[in-house]
Chain A
Amino acid sequence: MTWIWANLDLLWDRTLDHLVLSVPPIMLSFLIAVPLGWLANRYRAGRGVILTASGLLYAIPSLPLFFVIPAVVGTSLRSPLNLVIALTLYGVALMVRVVADGLASVDEDVRQSAVAVGYSGWSTFWQVELPLAGPVLLAGLRVVAVSTVSLATVGAVIGAQSLGSLFTDGFQRGIQAEIIAGIVLTVALALLLDGALVLLGRLLLPWTRLAATSRRALRVSRSAEGSG
């Protein structure tokens, strides 16, 4: 405990480093995954290629990927940019499937109604499909946020400063309190970003709280239908 009180500045700095390292990948992966997920949902051939590629990408262990990226992109091994790229790739790999599934879950009748009342393809996407897929996208983005914050710590072993530096430093100097503080702060930061996303979801998707109750009602009526 005394170590923590004596090093509050350090903990604060590492938390800020961690935030700078993990927030851009979360936002980037969402921005990249939406068009890719749309492609995967729209074109059957695209679906196979994009989903297989994202599945394989997600299977690649993080530390080796941190070493491979400099060789592909040409950045220096110690550059934090490698970490941002790698975390973005993982986020996209997770998110693409969610976007494709979310868009696919939009009722076909609703889509056709939108076309019938005169929406163009472009405005159907922005005003009908994307908002209706919103809750699914939000759920996916929350998973991306939590796993990105957790994964970003791994970069510490190749020298990218983050909350993970507390693990490597604490291990080398044998300070348990430092490692425990790092774990607690990482989990807290993950929860904080998760909470921020939930809040953002309430603002952007105000109808979802209402929908949660009606969906439950729908599920009851459907299962009654199924067993009948």
Chain B
Amino acid sequence: MTKTKNTALKHTGAFWMFVLPSLLLFTFFFMIPLFLSIWFSFTNYDGWKTMDFVGLKNYITALTNADFYKTLGRTLLYTICNLPFKVAIPLLLATLVTSKSLKCTTLVRTLVYIPVLFSALVAGITINWMFGQEYGLINFLLQGIGIQPLQWSLNPTLATIVISVASNWVSAGYYMLMYIGGIKNISPDLYEAASVDGASKVQAFFGITVPLLMPTTFIVLLLTTVSSLKEYALVQGISLGGPGTSTTYIVQYIYDQGFNQYKYGYASALGILVSLVFIIIAVVQFKATKGGEI
């Protein structure tokens, strides 16, 4: 009896010893900042000396501020417009590279995946370089076929398109791999049977592949939603949020308010408000994947 108790005690000690380094780091650099954010959001902290309690003032300012809504709306619009591409492109790529008819599969897969290695910043720069207004390759090619060069950095819509291209380019290979995993789980018998019944490849794609990949699609949707909502470094490599504020998304807006305008309190309140959106998404994901078991 005493022996059992001793081992249990020993293992309690061992458990905490193993967990402690992670727990300490996590407490110090996640939990404390989280509570600090909440605390700052009720003050007029300027990152320096001033830190008076101001109650809900920051939240009221944020929720009555047109710029906040505009930025949030712009971020949501950017996210929603990109969703179809972020699902369709990787799905089509995965279908292509798992096709039995494709030779040199490894080469194609490897090349498609390489952009994923890029940092968001450098990915933005790489794509932006092709979309240069004056001596960019795309405008050069457009002129070659008799089209007027486009003002990629002066027109808000065109600037958003460049950012979207870069964002899809840098992430497609990653989600493609997730889809490949999903496709490999589909039984080949299903395609066999469809083929016997005279279904075409296209019919099999929409009738078998797409519906059976719904769980993967769901995860891809959630992951791309989160990453699009917090798009920041990529934009820094392309438009810096311009022209004007037409590509300034919510994370950049928070940093501008905090680090550039020294309104740490207000920026923290913005952060808490935006977190609510992320928390909802995370809870949905957690429930849907049964706690990450899938």
Partners in one complex: no
B residues near A (Cβ < 8 Å) are none
Q: What is A's interface to B at a CB cutoff of 8 Å?
A: none
